[in-house]
Chain A
Amino acid sequence: MVSSKNKWVPYLFLLPGILLFLGVGLYSVGFSIVLSFYNWSGIDFSTARFEGLNNFRRFLLGDDPIVTQNFYHAVLHNVIIAVAQIAVVIPVALVLAFVLQNTKMASLYRTVYFLPMIVSGVAMFYVWKGLFEPSGAYNSLFHWLGMDFMTVPSGMLGSSSTSLIGIIITFIWGGLPGTLILYYAGLTSVDPSLYEAASVDGATKVKMILKITWPMLKPITLIAVIQMLNGAFQAFENVYIMTGGGPAGSSEVIGTLVYRTAFLDNNYGLASAIGWVSFLITGAIAIFSFRSFKTDI
């Protein structure tokens, strides 16, 4: 027990973290809000020029048609990634969690499925890039299986028709383990006596899943959905490494657009404005998801 004399000691240990949060977290958030109203090249803030709402008008209202077009394309791609990831990961993770719960070697399978969460993302995205090359494992596998209609001669990432699919696959791969673990933990927390009681009452397996398991898992699903939405709208590393947003802008997402605008075009104000609108979109979708789930929870 900490004596009243040394009550401040725990706070002292927390101080570095708090300072880091204030310095890196809150300061950067505040700074980026300010930046979004300025034209700034990234060096020496005294040379920044106040722009009012011009940055927002440029990409939201078509003041700069190309930036506007790039922005809406990027948002659309983020939405597609989010929807595809949720649509695939939620059911697959749920099924796998059920299977894991009823398998003898659960810990081994858990480790296997959990692997994508513990390996370095950047390294793995280079591996994915290699897999999707014209002579990579993806094309070779389908060619070997005699399913040439599934191959992409220019490589999955070298075609504007399939580059986004390649990116989505990495999102599904990366999103599955976390969701699986959430569901697995959720399933083990359901009181077995509920199933016993339902069984005594003559409930079928399907009914048990729909009436007992699913309602218990709804809060977990909500967390998983919000996590995936957040992840999809913050997409950057995999897109930057694998396609750079191309070919022909076919896999451009808000993250790569912000990066390009800030670090290559030297327009930090516009980049911050785009980042903030992206944050508001993500927030709005998260609130919408939360409300739509909350009514039934």
Chain B
Amino acid sequence: MLLATITVLALIVSACSSGGNNNSGGSGSSGKTLTMWTWKVAYVPGFEAAAKLYEEKTGVKVKIETFTPDDTYRQKFKAAANSKDLPDVINWWATAGDSIEGSVEELSPLIGDDVLGKYFSTAMDPIRITQAQVDSWKTDKNATEVQKSLKAGQFYGLPLDIGGFFTFYGNKKLIEQAGLSAEPPKTWEEFISMMETIKSKTGTPGLVLGAKVSDLWENWAGSALSIMLNGPQGYIDLLERNAKLSDPANLPIVKAAGMLSDKDLLMPGILSTDIDGADQAFAAGKAAFDLGGSFTMSTLLAMGMKTDDMITFPVPPIEGSKITNWTTDPFTLTMLSVNKDSKNKDQALDFIKFMTTDPDATIAFANAAYTIPALNLGDRSSDLQDNLKAIETSFATVPGPYSEAMPAINAYRAKNKEWEVYAQSIQSMWEKKMTPEQVAKKFDDTMASLKASGN
């Protein structure tokens, strides 16, 4: 009842708002106004900068409306989709099978290789529907009708920006104050030792992360540790239920997370700290290291930190890992889609092509939004801000181990609920209420019982 009331109220609010269909100008392109929605407040200056260039080129204005935070945006989208009141252009997470497909234009028949070839080679991977996803939805009794109707190869958005998780930010001042050199650690064990030293010398906790979001650890660090330890196939085996977490080969992954609480390295109150709270705490010097993604840099800079105040490095491998050097394997973060009921569909499509493939537009967007465009800029990379350029050059240029595991991650991690249990068990372990062995056993037992019950 509560749910339906929220839905109906959202519909009413949405109906009262200005949708994209009502803002069109005359019959020609010039003088028209497109409406675009986003939830990324930090991206708005970038969108505005690119929209200005588009207006100069075509005479078409783009009005950007922001609804934040994430949850509100998702609800706003659903309500507007149901009342056919979506804007012309929609900024969305770069995902396939997110059930927005019924409301946005299928772009696969409209966009050719001339456009797709301009992006980084892996940019379309999270957006394009894979055979693994199709197979997974076919056998998933909880899959939606929208998901079941999708075919491999279809896509509904164009990639806007790329980035990666698995990035630690370190407070240079605190590291040096503890008598250490501000160099990235080579192994997980070395990283733990660094944090121990900093804590004993300065009294500052080692690490902060948005651990209130229970699956953040796995998404942003755990999976990288796992992929490095046993290679991508080792992680795929876990996802596909062909291996156990308590296997001696996999247990070190849980133990690596357990070291953080065993040695009291986590910032107190971490389990009630969300992503923004973690970044704020790090920027305020309340922890020596912060776990984030390439996109975290813009947040930290906005909070007053300077790049010289920090060191940045990817998740370091556990000793004895098969992969000893994690290359930040970027994937598309957000995409742009066109409302399938838009009266300005052609202009909207033209705009998203411009936003994602015109070098001037993408550079203007990237520099103002502080994110890396999905467009392969080539020589034009030099026009990016220095910090962005540094991040971009640190990205792997060829698909790395994370890309190899990504189809299985997309197909199974949200569907197989033992990962939800695992995420909560990690929280319990950080409270010292479970040991790594117990966490692994609980994961394995849940996996077995879910498998037996057909889930």
Residues of A within 8 A of B (CB): 23-25, 27-29, 31-32, 35, 39-45, 47-49, 54, 62-67, 129, 132-134, 153-155, 157-161, 163, 234, 236, 242-244, 246-249, 255, 258-259, 262-264, 266-268, 271-272, 275-276, 279
Contacts and interface: CB of A to CB of B under 8 A. Distances in A.
Given A154-B271, A155-B272, A271-B3, A47 B8 contact: no
Contacts of A39: 142, 144-145
Contact of A42 (B5, B99, B428): B99
A39 B145 CA distance: 8
Contact of A49 (B78, B145, B428): B145
Contacts of B1: 28-29, 32, 275-276, 279
A158 B417 CA distance: 24
Contacts of A153: 268
Given A43-B82, A64-B417, 17 more contacts: A24-B8, A24-B9, A24-B12, A41-B99, A44-B81, A45-B82, A47-B102, A64-B453, A65-B446, A154-B269, A154-B271, A157-B272, A161-B431, A244-B274, A248-B431, A263-B71, A263-B75
22 contacts: A23-B8, A35-B3, A39-B142, A42-B82, A43-B78, A43-B102, A44-B82, A45-B82, A47-B146, A47-B149, A49-B145, A66-B420, A66-B446, A154-B271, A157-B269, A160-B271, A246-B272, A247-B272, A248-B424, A248-B427, A262-B3, A275-B2
Contacts, number: 166
A257 to B, nearest CB: 11
Interface in B391-441: 417, 420-421, 424-425, 427-428, 431, 433
Given A43-B102, A47-B145, A160 B433 contact: yes
A46 to B, nearest CB: 9
B272 A236 contact: no
Interface range on chain B (Cβ under 8 Å from partner): 35 or more
Given A154-B269, A159-B271, A160-B431, A248 B2 contact: no
Nearest to A49: B145
B312 interface: no
A270 to B, nearest CB: 8
Interface in B1-59: 1-5, 7-9, 12
B122 interface: no
Nearest to A28: B4
A284 to B, nearest CB: 15
Closest 10 CB pairs of A and B: A32-B4, A41-B99, A28-B4, A247-B271, A155-B269, A41-B144, A158-B272, A134-B269, A134-B268, A66-B417
A156 to B, nearest CB: 8
A275 B82 CA distance: 21
Contacts of A259: 3
B255 interface: no
Contact of B428 (A248, A266, A268, A275): A248
Contact of A43 (B12, B81, B433): B81
B3 A66 contact: no
Contact of A66 (B82, B433, B450): B450
B453 A31 contact: no
Given A41-B146, A246-B427, A263 B449 contact: no
Contacts of A264: 71
Given A66-B420, A258-B2, A271-B3, A42 B78 contact: yes
B4 A35 contact: yes
B173 interface: no
Q: Which of B3, B9, B269 has the most CB of A within 10 A?
A: B3
B455 interface: yes
A42 B77 CA distance: 10
B117 to A, nearest CB: 32
A267 to B, nearest CB: 7
B268 A272 contact: no
A258 B3 CA distance: 7
A243 B272 CA distance: 6
Contacts of A157: 269, 271-272
B181 to A, nearest CB: 30
Nearest to B274: A244
B167 interface: no
